[in-house]
Chains A and B, each alone.
Chain A
Amino acid sequence: MRKRFTVAMAATAAMVMTLAGCGNGFDDTSNTSDGGATSDNSKALTVLIGSSGDAETASVKKAVAAWSEKSGQKAEVQVANDMAQQLSQGFAGGSPADVFYLAPEQLAGYASNGSLLAYGDQLTNKDDFYDNLLQTFTYDGKLYAAPKDVSTLQLVINTDMWSAAGLTDADYPTSWDELAQVAEKLTTDDHVGLAFSGEYARVGVFMKQAGGGLVSDDGTKAIANSDESVAGLEEVKTLLDSGHAAYAADLGTGWGGEAFGTGKAAMAIEGNWITGGLAADYPDVKYQVVELPAGPAGKGTMHFTNGWGIAADSPNQKGAIDLVEYLTSDDVVMQFAKDFGIMPATTSLADKWKSEFPELSAFMDGLEYSVTVPTAKGAADVITDFNAQLEGLRNGDVKSILDKTQTNLESILQ
């Protein structure tokens, strides 16, 4: 009996060793030298995207196919249904996608474990991008991704409801007081004046307008419970308490765009992606986009971006960089803008885009005074926790919510 047990143990031990052995095998093949980028183009490059829909998928596929033809290298586009999970799986297994959409909140995690190629310095069109966007994709002084596009939040107004309430173009709110007034005028039995999601990525605009935020501009200091941040969140609470503004979820909708499209709100704080959503699901709603009102510290909004990441384990880093340069070149980005409504992340295209989409120029103007979400390692968890508390803002205490967030931020920033 004992002998059999020993045999079993030996067999299992052998299997563990074998597995560990092949594991070590693929780990050591990764190219860690900084100088020479890999350029094995025998296999097709894989491009993993988290697509917003068929329009985006088709457009990216077309652009990648055009690059393949131009460069003579094969590349294929894969659509992820769970980006974080599929990327992590690829990195852990040693065979990740070569080029992929990279969300800023994932940057710190992937960059710190060496999964990403810091190709920023090899990018020829690096100077075209907005500086604050490049900052978003910089970790430990190295640029890890080229910004793919950018979005900002502004005030979207239902023009029919606006005129029905007796308001004109001269009444677009420019201050918090005016915002509260128009929200009151726009509130009827059927709909509220203003709707937005109960999350930092929306209410953060009020904190910025008050001069606060979650972290300082250089991202090194937590300022979540500063007087300015408290004033910003107090304004949100006041609006919600007035009954003229509501969280989209409290209206039984998934996000501000749905509340706006279904006519449950006359105004919404949303980003430029709302144009695609409205055109597809609520084509009859007429709307106008204006800049958000200024707070005590002036104008403020938030921007969001996505980047093109390249895997450090990619066997064809040179080809991948070339592909990213092509995908961020002016013509391709303008085509993306036409196909699925993105806003270019390059300064060189700002004016061209505004003249192409004059009704959306408020979104582009927002980039001058916008702030983004903190990207330090662990920040995503802190923001998730902050969002969870924001859901209970109406019955909660602003100061204690922000105090807790401050403590959480300090523990990840130290």
Chain B
Amino acid sequence: MKPRSARAASSQRISRKEETISGWLFCLPMIVILGVFLFIPIVMALWVSFSNWTGRGTPFGSNVQFIGLKNYTDVLVKPGLAQSDFGTAIRNNLWYTLLVIPLQTLLSLLLAVMLNRKILKARGFFRTVFYFPSVTSSVAITVLWLFLFNASGTINAVLGWFGINGPNWFNEPTGIIHILLSAFGVDAGPAALTEHSFLGVSLWDWLSGPSVAMFAIILMVVFTTSGTYMLMFIAALQSIGEATEEAAIMDGATSWQRLWKVTVPQLKPTIFTVVTLGIIGTWQVFDQIYTGTQGGPAKTTLTPAYLSYSAAFNSQEWGRGAAISFVLFLIIIVMTWMQRQLMKDKKMSRRRQADYAAMKAEARAMSKDEIMSLGRPSANKPSGGAARASVTEAVATRKGA
């Protein structure tokens, strides 16, 4: 979009057409790679989810028929094993998401704030240590966890020092909310909850909470992912700058207030990113389940991603597996959209907008000297003092009204 004269003046005239062609040429490798490895497989999977492909040969072969929404209705509507498995997987993953996201976001934020302190010695060392679980293979961490949380493992031995008889972590299918309730003598749900069901799982079971086994996996995931998000928070903290922090100190804010009222609001874009990545990551949990529990005990660590895999590869229900993954995709989209709505900057009320406008107008009306005199004792420049008084007065009256 150069000005006409500049183009005319240049001796080497660049043709628009050539520019376009070279542009496409530069983009071509990426378009081909994304197309072949991302776009086309997604289109194929979408087709498989509407077809009766049985897993032999190409899904575009002549013997593969379009069967409409059958794969989707099997999973979502038709009562049966496929539906109750899917319901169970969604239940498990919902609890998993509900616990993992707040825990990992808080933990990584706190770690980042601590590591951002100037007075802390060996910051680099701690940063590496906290980040280490994130770069370790999730398979290795899962195996480590299976050892730690074995019935006669380290965790239970440590709990034993305090006289606590630890559970048989990875073999305990009871939900932790059910366990809490049974401590109060509630062992079976009220009929209103047990008789009604959604997706083939009774409401009472929806409210079971994550099983003890799933809880162990939740702890593991928080342990592994917090390092990554901590790094993102540290980067954000370093770009904030110290001016606001110092200003807050001058205003007499306590360190707790500074954290929650000054630092955290400025980290909002990063929190948004971390929570979004968290939602996507937690709904796609697969490695830990595949290497660790394979959905057991009693299907309480079954997740939609693992169910999709096992429906396709173990049960040869390829259409169902693809349908589950597309439902999962929709869930992630909806959850991310909801989170966006929740975290959006609230629109200012009209009255506060008017306040700000009035303050701005008044400030603009002031001369440079008047502005410079703001904050000084008003004795020598009465006009400045009046202006200042009028600004504060305007705000005060509006606040009062």
Contact = CB atoms under 8 A, between A and B. Distances in A.
A382 B59 CA distance: 27
Contacts of A112: 54, 316
Interface string A398-413: 0000000000100100
B168 interface: yes
Interface in B67-126: 80-82, 84-85
Given A24-B61, A110-B316, A252-B151, A391 B56 contact: no
B58 A23 contact: yes
Contacts of B82: 381
A88 B61 contact: no
Given A23-B60, A252-B151, 15 more contacts: A12-B35, A23-B61, A24-B62, A88-B312, A91-B55, A92-B57, A94-B57, A106-B316, A109-B316, A115-B55, A249-B297, A381-B85, A384-B299, A408-B80, A411-B81
Nearest to A262: B152
From DSSP, what is the main secondary structure of chain B's interface residues? loop
Contact of B314 (A12, A26, A84, A251): A84
Interface stretch (B8-16, B36-44, B215-223): B36-44
Given A381-B81, A391-B296, A411-B81, A92 B314 contact: no
B298 interface: yes
Contacts of A11: 31, 35
Contacts of B151: 251-252
A389 B56 contact: no
B21 to A, nearest CB: 11
B270 interface: no
Contacts of B32: 15
- Among B32, B58, B59, find the residue whose CB has the most chain A CB atoms closer than 10 A: B58
B57 A411 contact: no
B58 A24 contact: yes
A296 interface: no
B298 A392 contact: yes
B299 A378 contact: no
Contacts of A91: 55-56
B314 A408 contact: no
Interface of A: 8, 11-12, 15-16, 19-20, 23-24, 26-27, 30, 84-85, 88, 91-92, 94, 106, 109-110, 112-115, 249-252, 377-378, 380-382, 384-385, 388-389, 391-392, 408, 411
Given A249-B171, A382-B81, A385-B81, A12 B39 contact: yes
A408 B81 contact: yes
A391 B60 CA distance: 42
Contacts of B56: 91-92, 113-115
A388 B59 CA distance: 33
Interface in B14-60: 31-32, 35-36, 39-40, 43, 54-60
Interface in B290-324: 295-299, 312-316
B205 to A, nearest CB: 12
A290 B278 CA distance: 54
Contact of A391 (B61, B84, B298): B298
B171 A250 contact: yes
B257 to A, nearest CB: 49
Contacts of A392: 173, 298
